[in-house]
């Protein structure tokens, strides 16, 4: 049942009344959700992995599987694995292990950071994201 009262459209559903503001809220939430989905889907795949240790950066292809061992003296302090177009931290001798528990990364701009060992692993792409342009 629809009725006009005071210039406002109201529709009764069961014992609730749908107001114009309710419809506007639903539309706004839907638009924000779609926009968020498009941003996530539009991220480009990375091409390179940049590994920075105490300010020194080295680049590796994200398409070539390899394990990168970073040493502190004679012992390995971090082990970075590039496999299947993704990169993750397999080993770290830091106490908190946050970098080891971080999910694998593969998209432009994503990073894994090991603060105690001053290691930054980030994915970089030369392709620009269409959404950012």
pLDDT tens, 45-90? 568 999 999 889 999 999 999 999 998 877 888 999 999 999 999 9
Helices (H), the chain: 20-41, 98-101
Q: For residue 101, how many C-alpha atoms fall within 13 Å in the half-sphere facing its CB?
A: 5
Judge whether 132 lies within some domain: no
% of residues, the chain, pLDDT over 90: 44
- Report the number of distinct structural domains present in the chain: 2
Determine contact, residues 72/117, Cβ cutoff 8 Å.
yes
Q: Does one domain contain both 65 and 105?
A: yes
Distance (Å, whole) CA 8 – CA 71: 70
Judge whether 129 lies within some domain: no
**Residue 127 carries which DSSP code?**
S
Q: Residue 39 — pLDDT band, cuts 50, 70, 90?
A: low
Q: What is the pLDDT of residues 84-132, one digit of tens each?
A: 999 999 999 999 999 999 999 998 889 999 999 899 999 997 654 444 4
CATH number of the domain bearing residue 60: 2.60.320.10
């Amino acid at each position: 049942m629809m009725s006009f009262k005071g210039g406002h459209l109201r529709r009764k559903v069961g014992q609730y009344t749908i107001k114009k503001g309710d419809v506007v809220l639903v539309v706004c939430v839907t638009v924000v959700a779609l926009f968020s989905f498009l941003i996530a889907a539009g991220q480009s795949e990375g091409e390179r992995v940049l590994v920075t240790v105490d300010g020194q950066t080295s680049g590796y292809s994200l398409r070539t599987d390899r394990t990168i061992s970073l040493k502190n003296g004679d012992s390995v302090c971090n082990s970075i694995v590039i496999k299947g177009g993704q990169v993750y931290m397999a080993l770290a001798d830091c106490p908190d292990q946050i970098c080891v528990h971080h999910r694998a990364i593969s998209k432009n701009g994503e990073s894994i950071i090991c603060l105690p060992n001053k290691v930054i692993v980030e994915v970089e792409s030369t392709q620009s994201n269409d959404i950012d342009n």
